[in-house]
Copies of this chain bind each other. A is one copy, B any other.
Amino acid sequence: MGEKDKRTVDLGYAHLDGDRAERTGEPETIFCQGKTPAQVAEILSQLLAMHPNENIMGTRADQADFEAAKARVPETVYDEIARVLYVRRTDATDGRRIAVVSAGTADMPVAEEAALCASLLGHDVLRVYDVGVAGVHRLLEHEEAIRACDVVIVVAGMEGALASVVGGLVAAPVIAVPTSIGYGSSFEGLAALLAMLNSCANGVGVVNIDNGFGAACLADKILNTGRKERE
Which A residues fall within an 8 A CB radius of B? 13-15, 17, 19-20, 23-26, 34-35, 96, 103-106, 108, 130, 132-138, 140, 150-151, 158-161, 163-165, 167-175, 178, 180, 182-211, 213-214, 217-218, 220-226, 230
Contacts and interface: CB of A to CB of B under 8 A. Distances in A.
Contacts of A133: 133, 161, 164-165, 168, 200-201
Contact of A17 (B26, B135, B165, B195): B135
B164 A185 contact: no
Contacts of A168: 20, 24, 133-136
A201 B24 contact: yes
Pairs A-B, 8 closest by C-beta atoms: A205-B205, A184-B209, A161-B161, A134-B168, A25-B171, A191-B194, A134-B201, A159-B195
A64 B193 CA distance: 33
B165 A165 contact: yes
A15 B130 contact: yes
11 contacts: A14-B130, A24-B201, A133-B200, A134-B165, A134-B199, A159-B195, A159-B196, A183-B210, A184-B209, A203-B221, A206-B206
A185 B194 CA distance: 6
Contacts of A192: 195, 198
A183 B208 contact: yes
A77 B6 CA distance: 38
A220 to B, nearest CB: 7
A221 B169 contact: no
B106 A34 contact: yes
A96 B186 CA distance: 32
Nearest to A216: B202
Contacts of A132: 164, 200
Given A23-B170, A184-B209, 15 more contacts: A17-B135, A35-B105, A132-B164, A134-B167, A161-B164, A184-B210, A184-B211, A185-B189, A187-B194, A191-B195, A191-B198, A194-B195, A202-B214, A205-B207, A222-B225
